[in-house]
Amino acid sequence: MARMERCPACRARLADAEICTRCGTDFSTSRRAERQAQGLAHIAVRQLCLGQTMQAAATADAATHLASPLLALAVMETIRRRGAVHSTDVEDPRQEF
Ligand SMILES: [Zn+2]
């Protein structure tokens, strides 16, 4: 899902508006989802840089369920090009005990 640039109801340009100035449709929920997805995408990049490939894949996947930001798609494509995700990437939570 690409970022919503125009109101799907009346086609007015939205920019960053949460409410369409022409028809009054409220997009605050979808805008919030876009922001959350972008935040998850940044977390996925950080995880990928730290070598936490499994976590990065899961985080990027969660982002795409919200809004599919390009950054999350790039993380997923990077992981795909690197090949299979290794289970050794996952930190074993039992190691903390
Ligand atoms: Zn509208």
Q: Residue 48, Cα to own-chain centre: how many angstroms?
A: 14
2 CA from centroid of ligand 1 (Å)? 17
* pLDDT tens-digit series, residues 52-84: 999 999 999 999 998 888 899 999 999 999 985
Q: Where are the domains of the chain?
A: 14-84
29 CA from centroid of ligand 1 (Å)? 15
* pLDDT tens-digit series, residues 12-67: 998 888 999 999 999 999 889 999 999 999 999 999 999 999 999 999 999 999 88
Is residue 70 packed enough to be buried (19+ CB in 10 Å), middle (13-18) or exposed (0-12)?
exposed
25 CA from centroid of ligand 1 (Å)? 6
- The answer, as to whether pTM is greater than 0.75, is no
79 CA from centroid of ligand 1 (Å)? 38
